[in-house]
Structure 1
Amino acid sequence: MTSGYSDGDNRDDALGWAGDDDPTLVSGDEGGETGTSTGTAADAGTGALEPPEGWTVAGPASAVEAQNAADAALTRTATTSLALVSLGIFGGIYLLYTIGWFIGVARIQNPQADVLSEFMFSLGLWLAVAAPAVWFAVTFWLTRTHPRARIGWLLLGVVLLAPLPFIAGPGVIA
């Protein structure tokens, strides 16, 4: 029975690349057999190898830091659909709160006559306008790894940062 190749090539040649038989090429699993490793026998158990001369380590320098980085990567969880929807709802609420504070602050009359008191009053009003957006951003940033705490802090902010001058009118807060 013939192989179907007229020039005498082997069928296995179709599964290889030109130069696979080059003796200077070493695959990853053969590194320990050829003696190319620069580590000692004690280093082989921990996986710690010294880099070649002139090279630097770009990742964590120690095995403990590498393990901590791997653990941190494992603890990062994917955001669920419910969490994404709730973040969208909270984002909309905080945007409405910022707009409500802006409208409510525009209605408030400044009763202060002193320059410093007038400046502090207007500074407080503008900080009140910025508070919902800052609360949302800081909560989102500080609770990256704790989705339940994120929802709790955002819910607390919804209660604490309600735009009272907009809701109750300008005469209530003076």
Structure 2
Amino acid sequence: MTSDADDALTWEGDDDRPTQRPASDAEQEPALPRGWNALGKRSETVGRIQDDGTVSDPAERPPLSTPMLLLLGIVGGVYLLYTVGWVIGGLTLQSSAMFLIPEVMYQVALWAAALAPALWFGAVWMLTRRSASWMRVTGLLGGVLLLVPWPFVMTGAVGA
């Protein structure tokens, strides 16, 4: 039996170790061509077939498409405006709400509402990393509908 240290003393071809045979098509990891997405169990193990015929690493995620990047930018801007709306609307209502609840409780609720759009965006981004694009879009647009800053809409510039 030879070891790796003995390799320097042997000629190419007179190796006693068994040679590795190439994997057959049935033993290769699954791979999909461009434009196809694997979904379901073990979908993260499916590689991509490149233009030159090689198979890429399955852990490598394809970049976001242009429409998805535009949607992320627009929805991120809307969420930023929602944060500003919650702060302005909440500060406007602060004097009229002081007779109902203590100031500390109002401040906690105000800042939780102001942080909600950023937390929603981050949660949707992290929880839909391995999901289909339509699930990410649904989560982001659902947040646009659920997180409307009603104090600003009702008493701010829109409601005046």
Deviation of 1:71 after TM superposition, in Å, equals 3.0
The answer to whether 1:71 aligns with 2:46 is yes
The answer to whether 1:24 aligns with 2:24 is no
Q: Which residue of 1 aligns with 2:69?
A: 84
> Are residues 34 and 137 of structure 1, via their aligned partners in 2, closer, same or farther at CA, if it must alter by over 3 Å?
same
Read off the aligned partner of 2:98 and give its amino acid letter.
P
How many Å separate the matches in 1 of 2:43 and 2:66? 28
Q: Which residue of 2 aligns with 1:64?
A: none
Equivalent in 139, 145, 151 of residue 165 of structure 1: 151
Q: Which residue of 2 aligns with 1:122?
A: 107
Deviation of 1:168 after TM superposition, in Å, equals 1.0
The answer to whether 1:140 aligns with 2:125 is yes
> Are residues 85 and 113 of structure 1, via their aligned partners in 2, closer, same or farther at CA, if it must alter by over 3 Å?
closer
Deviation of 1:159 after TM superposition, in Å, equals 0.5
SS at match of 1:24: helix
How many Å separate the matches in 2 of 1:82 and 1:69? 23
Identity, % of aligned positions: 37
Q: Work out whether residues 139 and 153 of structure 1, in 8 Å CA contact, stay in contact via their aligned partners in 2.
A: yes
How many Å separate the matches in 1 of 2:9 and 2:63? 40
How many Å separate the matches in 2 of 1:94 and 1:25? 68
How many Å separate the matches in 2 of 1:25 and 1:149? 60
Number of residue-to-residue matches in the alignment: 118
How many Å separate the matches in 1 of 2:79 and 2:105? 24
Q: Which residue of 1 aligns with 2:135?
A: 149
> Mean Cα displacement is larger for which, 71-80 or 142-151?
71-80
Read off the aligned partner of 1:83 and give its amino acid letter.
M
Equivalent in 81, 85, 106 of residue 96 of structure 1: 81
Q: Write the deviation string for residues 131-153 of structure 1: whole angstroms up to 9, x where unpaired.
A: 00110011111111222111101
Q: Write the deviation string for residues 50-104 of structure 1: whole angstroms up to 9, x where unpaired.
A: xxxxxxxxxxxxxxxxx87633826944311111111111111111111111111
Deviation of 1:122 after TM superposition, in Å, equals 1.8
Q: Which residue of 1 aligns with 2:98?
A: 111
Q: Which has the larger radius of gyration?
A: 1
Deviation of 1:113 after TM superposition, in Å, equals 7.0
Structure 2: runs of 5+ lacking an equivalent = 1-6, 28-41, 48-57
How many Å separate the matches in 2 of 1:25 and 1:131? 68
SS at match of 1:122: helix
SS at match of 2:46: helix
Read off the aligned partner of 1:71 and give its amino acid letter.
V
Structure with more helix by fraction: 1
> Are residues 89 and 123 of structure 1, via their aligned partners in 2, closer, same or farther at CA, if it must alter by over 3 Å?
same
